Amino acid sequence: MTDIRIIKTKQAIKNAMIELLQEKSFDLITTTELVKRAGVSRSNFYTHYQDKYQLVDEYQSAFFKKISTIFQTHRTDLATAIYEIFSLLETDYSLESAFLSENGTREIHLYLIQQTKKFLETVIIPHYGKKSLSTVNIDYRTTYLSHAIFGMLQLWIKRGKQESPQEITKMYMLFISDSTAI
């Protein structure tokens, strides 16, 4: 059984990271700022994490697994995959949402863009595109769309997640269907 003090310390550090990511880029956040905001000592922080990158890795790894599972489960159903991701981010994943924001980590940004691009290449373009496209055209189109989709995700987070997962999924599907119909 985990000690309640460990849980509280880790939660305080997580909450401090969320707050700091709302103010500045991850790269500009120092361990000193993090522990001060969390109200824990540096030694207490280092008891649980080697550095801020290990903190991020712990949460990113779990999040990557969850996102990967969603994409694998819904290989041919983008609407359901998008809906599940937004539902996840709306409720339980406040730190992960902060990582996805403009101030978040580059690794998680690139991972999601890459997963979206792969999904577009293997599912959307072949099944929903109106024309037969060359490999180069598909590469450019899926790169463009994956970055645009990620930008929409960041905007949703920046706007305070005002739209429900259903509303944002509908917007995504309209955007993707309009973009692949060419």
Phi, psi of 42 (to 5 degrees): -60, -45
| CATH number listed for the domain at residues 1-49 | 1.10.10.60
CB distance 18 to 59 below 8 Å: no
Return d(Cα 40, Cα 129) in angstroms, integer: 53
Residue spans per domain, the chain: 1-49, 59-180
Closest CA to 100 of 82, 115, 87, 113: 113
Return d(Cα 38, Cα 45) in angstroms, integer: 9
- pTM, two decimals, is 0.74
Q: How far is CA 28 from CA 40, 129, 130, 172, in A?
A: 20, 42, 45, 32
Residue pLDDT tens, the chain, 182 long: 568 988 999 999 989 998 998 899 888 999 999 999 999 999 999 999 999 989 888 887 888 788 888 878 887 787 898 899 889 888 867 887 888 888 888 887 888 898 888 877 776 666 555 567 778 888 888 899 889 888 998 999 889 899 999 999 999 888 777 665 54
The dihedral over CA atoms of 134, 138, 139, 142, expressed in degrees to the nearest 10, equals 180
